[in-house]
Every structure is written in C-alpha cells, then in structure tokens.
Chain A
C-alpha cells in the first residue's frame, strides 16, 4: 500500500487511516513524500514529522524529489510493486497541496492494476476515534452547553406544548442528548434544570415553583433518576469505547511489533525494532545489549549505567538513582539486555501491561535468533567436519601412493647390496619423478581448493589472448603427453578475453590432465567465439561419461569408477569454482567434450 505524505494536517489522518487499513490487510505499506521545488522550510518540517509518524506506525518511509503529479506517484508505485494507493478525498481550499481535482481523477483514470482507496477528509475520516465524544467537553463549557440546551428546549417547546406529559418526553430527550454528548456532570445538571424548568413553566400553577398536585413530585424524581441513569450508562458506554480503542491500539502496537520482530534478522535489528516501537509510548528509550556475558556500555551516564547493570544482574526492574526505569529483557536462558524508559505522565496499569508484553515478545525474538544462530553454527561445523573427513579419505590415499614409489626408488638407489642395471635404475627414477609431479599437482589443487573455500581468491583480471592461454598451457604439458597428441581447433582470430590468466590456465591444465589421466586417444582443444562470450572446449576419444556420473561430475571428490587411476576428484570442481568466479559456465557435452564459456565484457565496464 502506498500513501502520499505532505505538510497538510490532514496527512496525519490519512497516515493513520492507511495504517489501520494496512494492519487489517496485513500488508506492508509505504509512506511517500514527494519533495517538490515549491515547498517551504516549515512545510518540509511538517512533512518530515508526518513521515516520522508513518514510520512509527510501521510504514516504510521514502522521500523522492520530483514534480508532485500522477506521473511521479505512478512511477514510484510501479517500481515498488504497490497494489493499493490510498488517496485523500480532495476538498477545495482545505488541502492545498492535493489541490486540483485533476490529480485524483488522473490517478483514477491511469492507475491500471492499482486499487485506489479514497479516504474522506475532516468530516468523515472513517476513524473510530471521531465517533467517541471527547471527555474534555465535560468541563465548564459542558455545563454551560447543558444549561443552554435545556433552556432552548424549554423556549422552543413552550409555545407548542399543551400536555405536560409530552413536554416531559422533550426534556428527557434533552437530558439523554446532553448526557451522550457532554458527559455525566452536565447530564445531572440538565436533569435538575429540567425538573426546575418543567415545574416552572408547565406544572400548574404555571410560572411558579409551587406544585399543586403532589403526584408531580414523583414525576420530578423519575425525571431526575432517568437523567442520572442515562448519563451513567452513556458514561459507561463511552468508557467501554475508550477502553476498546485503547485495546485496539495495544493490539496494533503488539501486532506491528511482532511483525517487525519476525522480520528482524539479528539482535541489533530486534533491539532497534523495540526502540522504535517503545519510542511512541515512552520518550527516547535507551536499549543496551548483552555482550559476552556482560552488558555492552552504550553512551549512558554513570548513574544510568549503575541502574542498568543492576537490572541486568538481578533480572528485575531498577529505577533507583536514574531518571529512567531500567527493565531487563529476560530470555529463556540469559538476560539479553536492558531497556531504559521514562514513564510518561499519568501512565496506567494498562500501559505497564503493554510494555511487559512488548518486552517478553522482544525477548522471545532474541531467543529465537540466538537459537537460530546456534543451529547454524552447528550446521556449519558439521559441514566442515564432513568436508574434512571426505578430504582426508580422498587425499590420504592420493598422498600416500606417490610417496611409496618415491621412497622406494630413493632407498633402492642408496642400498649398497642392490645392483640395478642402468636401464632399470633410470626407469625407476623416471617413475619416481612422475609420481613427485603428481604429488605436486595434488598439493597445488588442494591449496587452490582451500583458497576458494576460504573465499580468499582474488582475480587479477586483464585482457588475455585466448590462443596464448591455450598454447602456453599445452606447451607446459608437453613432457607428460607420452604418445598422446594435443591438437588445436578454431579460428586463429579471436577476441581478447578479460580473465585472470593464471587461474584460467589452471582450468585448462585441469581439463587437459583429466583427459590425459582418464581419457584416451588424441586430445583436441578448441575455441569458438560467441556473441558475448568465448567458448573453450577440450575433448578426447575416451569412453563417454555416463549420465549418472555427469550429474555430480563437478562436485568435490566425485570421480570415475576406478579409484586406482589416481584422480583426487578435485580437478573438475576447481575448474567449476574458477570458471564461476569469472562469471562463466562449465558443462559437459556429448559425454566427452568439456566446455566452458567466459564473458567477453568485463564486469566493471
């Protein structure tokens, strides 16, 4: 829901109406102030006050600059996904900045997909508050009005009424009227006056206070009693209405507190919600948060600090030595913090109950957040443990196997009794060397992995020649090709691609090593230029990868069937991590061709 806020006094009413409507619909609402160039400083001040009011009533408040017209409002409504727009009913002269019927009309005619709610101005705002008479009217002015009412009744009815019992009804009506609108005191006065005037003007002998017929004394008593009774009843009804309104306000306050608390993601946000919500009832609350088992000292005076700490430690409200009352936020296990409040003048038991309810809701929200955090920490711990276990299982094997060959070869070279012919010796040394190389690759993959896990991967993006990338990588692998061949395919002219040279080279190395280790036959590497990206591919003539394996191909520690072929299950997952860090994609095509595409546009440009 969207409501526009301005400096006009009617804005406040409009905001309250919207708050009611929004609470009823359980819908979030936005108060928008459009700051246009013709606004004066005092107008801006009032508009800001209204915005603050909207904020305390649970609205999201926004200020935009622009012309105050349908375009701006509709534009904002579309951007924010507003479904209902609350408008004030325009009233000529009263509400100057909504002036011109064309605005509402224009909104009505152009608001496709928007529901419009038009709220009337002063005469009828739809707010229950206005149906309840103000008790303040019962003062001196109330008594005067009561006298006037009874006198007027007398004066108006005197020429027409001949039958005194009819006149009695007219007086009764006046008394009921007075008691309803002016309260109890004026009503009693009206009863008394009615009795006197009725006696004087209508009861024979007329125009004297004498009573000829003693039965009239009973009439006087009844008139007085009725007046008194009616005024008591209306007073009670009014009190009930007042209480209902108060309870409604309480419910709205608790409801909006609860809603905001549910939305709050951490302790700081929860405490901010509490501060905002209590601010309306109690001026300028101070909230202090528990921290590491103690209380975090905010900007509070020494005497406040003492009282706050006492409240925190005892778990009971403390007001001694401070001009505030300090209330603890008691959670299920710990005290989450304390709130310092100044009780307002004439605060009631109900206020106190409301405050207690608000504090216990806040504590519950803090409990929820704490429990959530613990659960999350436990999950993270579990996941880490799982990862470590998998890593250990996978890597311990891969680390040990090369060491067997290396150790064996070196010790056999030292062994004085062992006579090896030069060819065997050379062969052994060569296999030890290739095992050492394998170990080196594994260690560097592990380091790369942990770097990515820790999120400390920094990309050094520079425009690179893709063929240069490929050829440098292929040249580095030349010594390990043995009988396999690598051929390059694709147009010679390729655009420069903005990447981290070393990391993309790592991707290519891992893909090529994957082919060397697990694939067969000639390896082909290609480049294809796409409209906004560059596609790299690596394929060989090995057996196509089964669709089951394909699904988890790029997961950590997933490898083909044979454990013994020496893959650690890290290479492809690193490829995926590195390619995705470049905002690229990696996938398998047709069972044997690994493709990855990299965007040609740098992110910053």
Chain B
C-alpha cells in the first residue's frame, strides 16, 4: 500500500522542515508549498490526501485558500494558526476546513489530528449508527441514548445537537455551523441558545458536567465531540 500524501503550506521554511521531519517520521509522504497560490496549484497537480495549511500566508489568507479549494475538492484541511486568531480560524472552519492547531503545538497532538482527519475521510461514507463512547451508548437509528444502561431523555433539540456532534466526532464544529445545522438558517448568531443546550446536554451525557470529557469546548471557536 502506498504512503498517504500530505501537503504542507507554510511560508516559514523552518516550520515546513520541522513538519516534514515529523510527518515523514510517522511514515507519510510530504510535499511543500510556500504560498497560497502554490498550495492550490500543488493540490491540483499532486492530489494529496491531506493539507496542513498556515493561516498567515504572504499572498492569500488561509481561509481564502480553504474557500478556493472547497469549490472543487473535499481533501481534509488542518489549519495552523497562532493564538489570538480565533476569528480567522472560525472563518476558515466555516469555509470548510476540518480542524485547527494552534502554534506552538506538540508533535503528538499534530499526528493525532492528522490521523483523526484521515480516519474521518475513510469512514465518512460508511457512518456507523450504533456507537459506544465510554459508558454512553448512542443508537442513532433507533434514536435511543443510554448511559450506564439507563436511557437518557433528550429534548428533540438536544438530540439533534448530539447527532450533529457525533456524526462529526473528533472534528471541531464552529458555533455558526452548529447553529445552522441544528436550528437552521437565521439562528447563526444566537450563541445563548447554543450554550444553554450544550450545558443541558452535558448534564445528561457527561459523568461530571463540570469536567466534560466528550463534549469539549474549543475556546472562541466552537465545540468538538471527542471519542475516548
């Protein structure tokens, strides 16, 4: 089986080199682009399995690259950013990026995100309807959620929210994406309703809602359903 191919788009040579070393060490094939247009061109030419994209590129913003790529490609995109760029991250995610990492990051975290993104791509088509997360059992086909063998009563909205999160598990969903998917058009700015439902949902599915393990917050960006 041939190696999975990853495109690294970053204007810093040192960062590219570091990522190449790490990713090659984890047995991926790596190629590089140093600006946005080069990145888009490389995707067209080399058809990578995943892209690691820096937000601060000299020619295009990372979210512009994301938008351009999403017009014709569903290749997983992981955004690299520095702190304090939450709005840019959210924009890139809303344009269809899959995940993000804040610099500086640890190598193990990077590899975990890469694996998760690639796995999602592989299983996206299949989609399991009956899943177990720790002591939480979710059967999306029968619309039954149970925790520690006893059934959990969810409101229709909470159920929809959980369903969206689980079908996108391990992937960060922005507030806008969640609001749009669960409540529909026109609710994208109503953060309060989202917070209340997340908080209620946590109380029902988490062991300790003050220490959420499954439904975790991505500060300033959104939420992620983390598989144990």
User: Is B210's CB under 8 angstroms from A488's CB?
Assistant: yes
Contacts of A451 in B (CB 8 A): 84
Contacts of B212 in A (CB 8 A): 468, 471
B25 to chain A, nearest CB (A): 15
Interface string of A527-542 (1 = CB under 8 A from B): 0000000000000000
What are 19 A-B interface contacts by the 8 Å CB criterion? A440-B104, A451-B84, A460-B220, A462-B191, A462-B192, A462-B195, A463-B191, A463-B195, A465-B198, A465-B199, A468-B198, A469-B217, A471-B210, A471-B211, A471-B217, A474-B211, A488-B210, A501-B219, A502-B220
* A-facing residues in B175-228 (Cβ within 8 Å): 191-192, 195-196, 198-199, 202-203, 209-212, 216-217, 219-220
CA gap between A183 and B202 in the complex, in Å: 101
Contacts of B219 in A (CB 8 A): 472, 501-502, 505
CA gap between A440 and B82 in the complex, in Å: 11
B86 at the A interface (CB under 8 A): yes
A217 at the B interface (CB under 8 A): no
* B-facing residues in A566-600 (Cβ within 8 Å): none
A591 to chain B, nearest CB (A): 26
Interface string of A486-527 (1 = CB under 8 A from B): 001000100010000110010000000000000000000000
Q: Which of B84, B192, B217 contacts A468 (CB 8 A)?
A: B217
Contacts of B192 in A (CB 8 A): 462-463, 496
A436 at the B interface (CB under 8 A): yes
Determine the residue in chain A with the shortest Cβ distance to B84. Answer: A447
Determine the residue in chain B with the shortest Cβ distance to A458. Answer: B87
Task: Knowing that A462-B195, A463-B191, A492-B203 touch, tell me 5 more A-B residue pairs with CB under 8 angstroms.
Answer: A440-B104, A469-B217, A488-B210, A492-B210, A496-B199
B108 to chain A, nearest CB (A): 11
B83 at the A interface (CB under 8 A): yes
A249 at the B interface (CB under 8 A): no
CA gap between A531 and B84 in the complex, in Å: 33
Determine the residue in chain B with the shortest Cβ distance to A486. Answer: B211
Contacts of B104 in A (CB 8 A): 436, 440
User: Is A488's CB under 8 angstroms from B211's CB?
Assistant: yes
Determine the residue in chain B with the shortest Cβ distance to A500. Answer: B220
B104 to chain A, nearest CB (A): 6
- List the interface of chain A (C-beta within 8 A of B): 436, 440, 444, 447, 451, 460, 462-465, 467-472, 474-475, 488, 492, 496, 501-502, 505
Contacts of B191 in A (CB 8 A): 462-463
Contacts of A464 in B (CB 8 A): 195
B126 to chain A, nearest CB (A): 31
Determine the residue in chain B with the shortest Cβ distance to A465. Answer: B199
Determine the residue in chain A with the shortest Cβ distance to B203. Answer: A492
Contacts of B196 in A (CB 8 A): 496
Contacts of A460 in B (CB 8 A): 86-87, 220
For chain A, what secondary structure do more than half of its interface residues adopt (helix, strand, loop), or is it mixed?
Answer: helix
Contacts of A474 in B (CB 8 A): 211
Contacts of A468 in B (CB 8 A): 195, 198-199, 202, 212, 217
Determine the residue in chain B with the shortest Cβ distance to A498. Answer: B192
User: Is B217's CB under 8 angstroms from A467's CB?
Assistant: no
Contacts of A471 in B (CB 8 A): 210-212, 217
User: Is A467's CB under 8 angstroms from B209's CB?
Assistant: yes
CA gap between A505 and B198 in the complex, in Å: 18
CA gap between A471 and B208 in the complex, in Å: 10
Residue with the highest number of chain B CB atoms closer than 10 Å, among A468, A470, A496: A468
Contacts of A475 in B (CB 8 A): 211, 216
CA gap between A555 and B191 in the complex, in Å: 35
Contacts of B195 in A (CB 8 A): 462-465, 468, 496
A225 to chain B, nearest CB (A): 99
Contacts of B84 in A (CB 8 A): 447, 451, 502
A455 to chain B, nearest CB (A): 16
Contacts of B202 in A (CB 8 A): 468
CA gap between A440 and B104 in the complex, in Å: 8
Residue with the highest number of chain A CB atoms closer than 10 Å, among B86, B191, B192, B217: B217
> Given known contacts A436-B104, A496-B196, is B217 in contact with A472 (CB within 8 Å)?
yes
A467 to chain B, nearest CB (A): 5
Contacts of B217 in A (CB 8 A): 468-469, 471-472, 501
CA gap between A110 and B191 in the complex, in Å: 54
Contacts of B86 in A (CB 8 A): 460, 502
Residue with the highest number of chain A CB atoms closer than 10 Å, among B83, B191, B210, B216: B210
Contacts of A470 in B (CB 8 A): 210
Contacts of A501 in B (CB 8 A): 217, 219-220
Contacts of B203 in A (CB 8 A): 492
A469 to chain B, nearest CB (A): 8
* A-facing residues in B94-137 (Cβ within 8 Å): 104
> Given known contacts A465-B198, A502-B219, is B83 in contact with A492 (CB within 8 Å)?
no
CA gap between A451 and B84 in the complex, in Å: 11
CA gap between A319 and B120 in the complex, in Å: 85
Determine the residue in chain A with the shortest Cβ distance to B217. Answer: A472
Contacts of B209 in A (CB 8 A): 467, 492
Residue with the highest number of chain A CB atoms closer than 10 Å, among B192, B209, B211: B211
CA gap between A472 and B213 in the complex, in Å: 10
Contacts of A440 in B (CB 8 A): 104
* A-facing residues in B61-85 (Cβ within 8 Å): 83-84
Contacts of A496 in B (CB 8 A): 192, 195-196, 199
A286 to chain B, nearest CB (A): 49
Contacts of B87 in A (CB 8 A): 460
Contacts of B216 in A (CB 8 A): 472, 475
B84 to chain A, nearest CB (A): 7
Contacts of B199 in A (CB 8 A): 465, 467-468, 496
CA gap between A467 and B212 in the complex, in Å: 10
CA gap between A488 and B203 in the complex, in Å: 16
Contacts of A463 in B (CB 8 A): 191-192, 195
Determine the residue in chain A with the shortest Cβ distance to B212. Answer: A471
B102 to chain A, nearest CB (A): 10
Contacts of A462 in B (CB 8 A): 191-192, 195
A440 to chain B, nearest CB (A): 6
CA gap between A468 and B202 in the complex, in Å: 10
A198 to chain B, nearest CB (A): 104
A434 to chain B, nearest CB (A): 12
CA gap between A502 and B210 in the complex, in Å: 18
User: Is A444's CB under 8 angstroms from B220's CB?
Assistant: no
CA gap between A447 and B82 in the complex, in Å: 12
